[in-house]
C-alpha cells in the first residue's frame, strides 16, 4: 500500500504522466482516501502554476515604474 512518504517519491513523475498504470492506480487510490495526500498534490500543482505565472514578465504601469525606480535610487543612496 502506498503511503504519503512514498507518494512524494513519485509525485513529479505522476503529475507528468510518467508512471506505469499500476502505480498510477495506486496513487489515485491513496489520493481518494487521504486528505493529507490531496493537500500535498494540490500544493505541488499550485506551486507549478505560480512558478509558470511568475516567469512571465509583467509590465508595470509607467507611474508605478517611476515611483519604484525613485524609491530604489533613494535606498541605494542611503536616503531611506
The label of the residue with cell 481518494 reads: 32
pTM greater than 0.85 (yes/no): no
Q: What percent of the chain has pLDDT over 70?
A: 84
Phi, psi torsion values for 76, nearest 5 degrees: -65, -30
Euclidean distance between the first and the last CA atom of the chain, given in angstroms as a whole number: 58
Q: Predicted confidence band at 54 (pLDDT cuts at 50, 70, 90)?
A: low
17 touches 28 (CB < 8 A): no
Q: Is the pLDDT of residue 75 over 50?
A: yes
Amino acid at each position: 500500500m502506498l503511503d504519503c512518504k512514498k507518494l512524494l517519491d513519485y509525485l513529479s513523475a505522476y503529475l507528468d504522466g510518467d508512471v506505469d498504470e499500476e502505480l498510477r492506480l495506486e496513487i489515485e487510490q491513496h489520493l481518494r482516501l487521504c486528505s493529507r495526500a490531496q493537500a500535498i498534490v494540490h500544493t505541488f500543482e499550485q506551486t507549478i502554476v505560480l512558478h509558470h505565472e511568475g516567469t512571465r514578465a509583467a509590465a508595470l504601469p509607467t507611474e508605478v515604474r517611476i515611483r519604484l525606480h525613485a524609491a530604489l535610487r533613494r535606498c541605494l543612496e542611503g536616503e531611506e
